[in-house]
Amino acid sequence: MRPRSASDGASPLRVTMETVAAAAGVSRATASRVFYGSTPVSPGTRDAVYAAAERLGYVPNTMARSLAAHGSDVLGLLVRDPTNPAYGLLFSELQARVSGAGLQMVTVAPSRNEGAQYERQALNRLLGLRVGGMFVATGVIRAHMLEPFLDLVPVVVVGRPEPHPRIHSVSYDEDDNAAQLADAVGAQGHRCVAVVTPSADNSVPEHRRGVAMARRLRQHGIRVYPIDSPTFGRAEEGGREVIDLHRAGRITAAMFPSDWRLLAFLPLAQAAGVRAPEDLSLTGCDGILPGIDLLGFTTVRIPVERAAGRAVEVMRALRDDRDRAPAAQELLPGVFVPGRTLGPVPGTAR
C-alpha cells in the first residue's frame, strides 16, 4: 500500500519522518541528515527524500510542535548571503522594523556559494525555532517548499515576485526597473546590446530583470545578445562573453541584472582595456553598493527600505488576523540613477 499523501487529506503534522524515509527508500537517520544538514548526503539521496517529503506534505516534528503553538514574538528570516549589499541592507532594515514593532527576529543566512539544498536545510532549521512568522528573502526557495507551512505560520516573501495565491509578497517592480534602464540605453542610440541573465533557479529577481530588459530593448527595435549565467554564486559569469562581443564589434552596450555583477565585470574590462562609457556603455541594477556615487554606475535604486517596512506591516496584519489579510503581490518601483557608465554610441555626437 502506498503512503498516504497530503493530497489524500492527511495532515502534514501526522506524516512522520519514518514514513518519508520509507517512501524514499532510506533510513530514518539519512532522512534526518537531509532535513537538518548535520552531515553531507549524496545529491540523489537528498533529492529522493525531498521528493517524498513534498509528495507526502511532511513537516518535521520539531517544526510541528513549535508551529502548532503559534503566538511567538520571535520572527524568522531566511535571507540570501548578506555580503551582497542588497540583501545586507534588507536584513538591516527588517531587523530595525521588527525591533520597532516590539518583536524579535532570528536570521539564517547561507553563504553565497551554498545553493538550493543548503537554503532548504536552513529553512527547516529556522522553522524549528518556535518562530511566530517567517520572512523569506531569497530567490532560491520556491513556493512549493513553503506550502506545507502556510496553514501553520504566516509567511511573507520579501524582495522577489511570488505569484502563489496563498503567499503574500512585497517585491521590487523588476519589470518597471528593467524598462527604465532599457529606455535609457535606447535613448542614447544603442542598437546592439548584450544582456546578462542568470538562471531563475539561482536568482528569481535577477532572472526577471534580465528577461524584462531584453524584452523592452526588443520593443525598441534593438538587437539583443543574450548571455546566460547558469552557475550559482558566480557574479563574474558572462563577463568574458561581453568582452568578446565588444571586440567583435557586435555590441556598444551591456546590461547587467545587478550592480554586484557589473562590479565583478570591471576587472575584466580593465584587463581588456575597455573603458565605460567611451568604448562600451554599461548598466547595473539595485543601486545599493557602498560608494555607488563614486563608482558612477548607471542603475536603478530599488526601494529596500520601503519593502522592509511594508513587509513588517503585512506580517503584523497576518499575525493579528490571517483571515482578514488575504495574500497579495505588492510591487514597488525603483528610481533611475543616471550615473556615468552609460553614454552615446562611440563615435557619435549627442
Supply the range of the domain harboring residue 202: 174-302
Residue 155 in contact with residue 95, Cβ under 8 Å?
no
As a whole number of angstroms, the distance between CA 182 and CA 58 comes to 44
- Dihedral over alpha carbons 74, 80, 83, 86 (to 10 degrees): -90
Residue 267 in any domain: the answer is yes
Cell numbers 546566460 correspond to what residue?
228
Q: What percent of the chain has pLDDT over 90?
A: 50
Residue type, 2: R
Please state, as a whole number, how many other Cβ atoms lie within 10 Å of the Cβ of residue 116.
Answer: 18
In this prediction, residue 5 has a pLDDT band, given cuts at 50, 70 and 90, of: very low
Residue 196 in any domain: the answer is yes
Number of helices and strands (H, E) in the chain? Answer: 13, 12
Residue 277 in any domain: the answer is yes
Domain count for the chain = 2
Tens-digit pLDDT profile for residues 188-202: 999 999 999 999 887
Residue 80 in contact with residue 112, Cβ under 8 Å?
yes
Q: Which residue has the higher pLDDT, 148 or 174?
A: 174
CATH number at residue 25: 1.10.260
Residue 274 in any domain: the answer is yes
Given this model, what pLDDT does residue 37 score?
A: 61
As a whole number of angstroms, the distance between CA 298 and CA 310 comes to 27
Please state, as a whole number, how many other Cβ atoms lie within 10 Å of the Cβ of residue 18.
Answer: 11
CATH number at residue 229: 3.40.50.2300
Average pLDDT over residues 112-123: 66
Alpha carbon separation from 172 to 13, 303, 329, 331 (Å, rounded): 34, 7, 10, 5
pTM across the whole model? 0.76
Q: What's the grid cell of residue 76? A: 524568522
Residue 157 in any domain: the answer is no
Tens-digit pLDDT profile for residues 249-301: 999 999 999 999 999 999 999 999 999 999 999 999 999 988 888 899 999 99
Tens-digit pLDDT profile for residues 61-71: 554 544 444 45
In this prediction, residue 147 has a pLDDT band, given cuts at 50, 70 and 90, of: confident
As a whole number of angstroms, the distance between CA 217 and CA 224 comes to 7
Tens-digit pLDDT profile for residues 70-84: 457 889 999 987 778
Residue 15 in any domain: the answer is yes
Residue 315 in any domain: the answer is no
Residue 108 in any domain: the answer is no
